[in-house]
Amino acid sequence: MITDRYRADTLTTMDDSDMATDEREGPDHPSLLRPSMFAVGWWVSVAGGLLLVGYAVAQTIPALPEADAAFWVIAGLLLLFEFSPVIIGSGYDSQGVATSDAFTFAVLYLYGPWPAIALISCATLVSELVKRKPPWKVPYNIGQFALSLGSAALVMGLWFRATDQPTPTLVEPLAALQPVDLTWMVAGWLTFFFVNNTLFSLLADPGRTFADDFFDDFAYYFFTTIAVLAVAPIVVFVSAEPAFMPLLLLPLYAVRKTASISREKEHQALHDSLTGLPNRKMILAELASRLDEARRLDTNVAFCLLDLDRFKEVNDTLGHQVGDRLLAVVAQRIEGALRPNDIVARLGGDEFAILLDPVRNSDAAVEVAHRVRQALTRPFHVEGMLFELEASVGVAVYPVHGQDVDPIVRRADVAMYLAKEERTGVEIYVADRDRNSASRLALLGGLRHALQNGELRVHYQPKVSLSSGNVVGVEALVRWHHPQRGLVMPDEFIPMAEHSGLMAPLTEHVIDESLAQVARWRTAGLEVPVAVNVSMRDLNGRDLLGVVASALERHDLPASLLVLELTERVLTRNSAEVTSTLNALRRLGVAASLDDFGTGYSSMVLLKKLPIAEIKIDRSFVSRLTADPGDVTIVRSIVDLAHGLGMTAVAEGVESEQVWELLQGLGCDAAQGWYISRPLDSDKATAWLRRLPSQQPALRVLRGGAEGADSTG
């Protein structure tokens, strides 16, 4: 838990260095002057505890000169361990139990309650001051510890009185332990645990009840406390020969070391190593717990997703090292713009998430988002260079935009993409503008399932040479056979997949299924290259090359039988990552085709630079060819451009014979469209391909043959 839990400080003290986020002090604690559970817990601990401490110190100091050597050794070890407590990590919080407790209890058994209470109070005071705990916490922690220890001492005292033994003191320490002593010791441990747990549960965080805190991780605290206290009698035995005492250091040190390593691992699992911020896992867990809290308290929770707009360029042009440095500074800048109880996490890449402490209303959340964005617009100085960044932030607020973690995160994501697309910087989720609203979200939820269940199938649409009528390839077009909704077209789910992390598995699936089909055709004597559509996301990811190479190998196919179609958007960004992926694919022998050409804003420089073999003229120009002379000019220019750059030109969306003939006249190389064939499932596509050679080159006949087989699109 990274909210500042009062409790975290009572049982444990933490190393300040490695838990920066836990050391943030929370908002003001509830008033100590108005009656509340918090105030009662505080006053009882402080007043009762400090009274006890005062008395203990007064009793102990005069007797100190008579203390034996064992006392000083134990006291020394107690202090040593007080300043290096064992923290045994658990879940998301950093509570634990201090090894110094083993020595405190040893002092209690050997020298009675007063030296024990005096010692642990002094040690706690010093360590709290060193760690700069807020002033209200210091007396509370000392007091509640003294009371807990005092109650264990009471159990011991009652036993000694009942059995008519003198209670040990500094002057007259305990002579020896008997097996029967284990009874009151165990009773004392239990008392200590329950008093301690009760006192800090009284100071439960706002929004948590006494029971929440009392039973939170109950078993864990119970066993760690008992385990540490069980060492106390061993200290008592060893104290008979103080020279042996330092030997206890070794095993205790080993325990401490192991515990701190495991805690470090836990920390790593929940934090981003580059920025030190919490990671996705941690912030989602925190979001879940804040939603619970908000449900109980009827407050709101605001969640923001922030994405840097041009960060990729920095990484691509200056390398990851500079990019990483910059991200670390960005992280600080974001944190600096927030209040201490807000949480920032790095989700990966240049994406951050912010969880805001309860805000007044949605407007307040948007205001904070603007403030963060504003903070990032100031130039950054990193490694002697000046950077200007922009960020897009999407905001979603519980309860208006969603009730649970998933919808809240997704809606913040939707808002963020909107902010990016519209270049507005900050957007709050608005259902009307959500192309992912309810039914779409349900669809997205089903997509993962669909991938595993084989509901996604590939259809094939032939591309035919305009001069010879030969098939030059087929395009793989994915369809979703939805169990309830029937056939769902890619336009409906591909954009969602692109925003959801499902793009990579989807592309992998389509590549695999298409190549499996090509291999079957090949065995049957049909050598047909397949063109698979890949999205921008695929090209930015690093594994496309690996996926392609291994699929080709798996199906034992030459790379020349695979083409990748990319949208023109790749040409609007000069991305080193895209360039290197495409170059590597080309070296492998896989050609790239530029899809929907004419609809985007291509950079001619990039068109020349990137290894692209084919341009597909967007169907919006092609379909109007017969009606609009302007489009004839455009198509002719694109064909010339392609040929000038050594590429082939393919027209998509050829729906009529006139268009087919016009394209022939313009020198276009190949055509694809309903006039030739609609996309066909694998069986129909196989039949279509088989029939073709005998019917060449009369495409009119082909068209007649294909019509009956129309399946989709």
Estimate the crossing angle of helix 544-554 against helix 576-588, to 10 degrees: 20
Measured from the CB atom, the residue of 386 and 601 that comes closer to ligand C2E is 601
Instruction: Return the HEC string of 134-148.
Output: CCCHHHHHHHHHHHH
- Window contacting Mg ion (CB under 5 A); options: 212-220, 242-250, 352-360, 652-660: 652-660
Dihedral of CA atoms 66, 70, 71, 74 in degrees, nearest 10, equals: 170
Closest approach of Cβ 93 to ligand C2E, in Å?
43
Measured from the CB atom, the residue of 82 and 565 that comes closer to Mg ion is 565
Whether 463 and 475 have beta carbons less than 8 Å apart is answered as: yes
Residue with the CB atom nearest Mg ion in the bound state? 565
Residue with the CB atom nearest ligand C2E in the bound state? 713
Q: Look-up: residue for tokens 């591909």?
A: 494
- Distances from the Cα of 614 to the Cαs of 164, 352, 406, 465, 539, in angstroms? 100, 38, 41, 13, 17
Nearest to 422, CA basis, from 410, 408, 435, 405: 435
673 contacts which partner out of Mg ion, ligand C2E, none, CB within 5 to 8 A by kind?
Answer: ligand C2E
Q: Contacting Mg ion (CB under 5 A), which of 307, 434, 596, 614?
A: 596
394 contacts which partner out of ligand C2E, Mg ion, none, CB within 5 to 8 A by kind?
Answer: none
Number of residues that bind Mg ion (CB under 5 A): 5
Measured from the CB atom, the residue of 13 and 533 that comes closer to Mg ion is 533
Closest approach of Cβ 431 to ligand C2E, in Å?
25
Whether 670 and 465 have beta carbons less than 8 Å apart is answered as: yes
Q: Does 568 bind Mg ion (CB under 5 A)?
A: no
- Whole-angstrom distance between the N-terminal and C-terminal Cα of the chain? 51
- Window contacting Mg ion (CB under 5 A); options: 262-270, 398-406, 529-537, 643-651: 529-537
Whether 598 and 577 have beta carbons less than 8 Å apart is answered as: no
Q: Which amino acid is at 713?
A: G
Whether 341 and 3 have beta carbons less than 8 Å apart is answered as: yes
- Distances from the Cα of 329 to the Cαs of 21, 276, 335, in angstroms? 16, 11, 10
- Which neighbouring-strand residues pair with 616? 650
Closest approach of Cβ 479 to Mg ion, in Å?
14
Measured from the CB atom, the residue of 390 and 681 that comes closer to ligand C2E is 681
Q: Which amino acid is at 484?
A: Q
Whether 349 and 323 have beta carbons less than 8 Å apart is answered as: no
Measured from the CB atom, the residue of 284 and 654 that comes closer to Mg ion is 654
- Which neighbouring-strand residues pair with 90? 93
Measured from the CB atom, the residue of 13 and 461 that comes closer to Mg ion is 461
Query: Which residues bind to ligand C2E, rule: CB under 6 A?
Result: 461, 476-478, 489-491, 494, 507, 510, 533-535, 565, 595-596, 619, 652-655, 672-674, 679, 713
Measured from the CB atom, the residue of 251 and 704 that comes closer to ligand C2E is 704
Q: How far apart, in whole angstroms, are the C-alpha atoms of residue 143 and residue 488?
A: 67
491 contacts which partner out of ligand C2E, Mg ion, none, CB within 5 to 8 A by kind?
Answer: ligand C2E
Tally of helices (H runs) and strands (E runs) in the chain: 29, 16
Backbone angles phi, psi at 531, to 5 degrees: -110, 125
Closest approach of Cβ 676 to ligand C2E, in Å?
8
Measured from the CB atom, the residue of 224 and 533 that comes closer to Mg ion is 533
674 contacts which partner out of ligand C2E, Mg ion, none, CB within 5 to 8 A by kind?
Answer: ligand C2E
- Window contacting Mg ion (CB under 5 A); options: 124-132, 409-417, 533-541, 682-690: 533-541
534 contacts which partner out of Mg ion, ligand C2E, none, CB within 5 to 8 A by kind?
Answer: ligand C2E
Whether 584 and 612 have beta carbons less than 8 Å apart is answered as: no
Closest approach of Cβ 494 to ligand C2E, in Å?
5
Q: Contacting Mg ion (CB under 5 A), which of 213, 293, 565, 568?
A: 565
Q: Per DSSP, which regions of 299-362 are E strands?
A: 301-308, 343-348, 351-356
Measured from the CB atom, the residue of 347 and 478 that comes closer to ligand C2E is 478
Measured from the CB atom, the residue of 108 and 450 that comes closer to ligand C2E is 450
Closest approach of Cβ 475 to Mg ion, in Å?
6
Closest approach of Cβ 487 to ligand C2E, in Å?
10
Closest approach of Cβ 629 to ligand C2E, in Å?
21
Q: Which amino acid is at 615?
A: I
Q: How far apart, in whole angstroms, are the C-alpha atoms of residue 563 and residue 589?
A: 9
Closest approach of Cβ 216 to ligand C2E, in Å?
46
CB atoms within 10 A of CB 76: 13
- Window contacting Mg ion (CB under 5 A); options: 105-113, 114-122, 124-132, 560-568: 560-568
Measured from the CB atom, the residue of 278 and 673 that comes closer to Mg ion is 673
Q: Contacting Mg ion (CB under 5 A), which of 216, 595, 614, 631?
A: 595
Nearest to 8, CA basis, from 153, 189, 131, 190: 131
- Distances from the Cα of 203 to the Cαs of 5, 9, 21, 32, 44, in angstroms? 9, 11, 21, 11, 11
249 contacts which partner out of Mg ion, ligand C2E, none, CB within 5 to 8 A by kind?
Answer: none
Q: How far apart, in whole angstroms, are the C-alpha atoms of residue 549 and residue 546?
A: 5
101 contacts which partner out of ligand C2E, Mg ion, none, CB within 5 to 8 A by kind?
Answer: none
Q: Does 216 bind Mg ion (CB under 5 A)?
A: no
Contact footprint for Mg ion (CB under 5 A): 533, 565, 595-596, 652
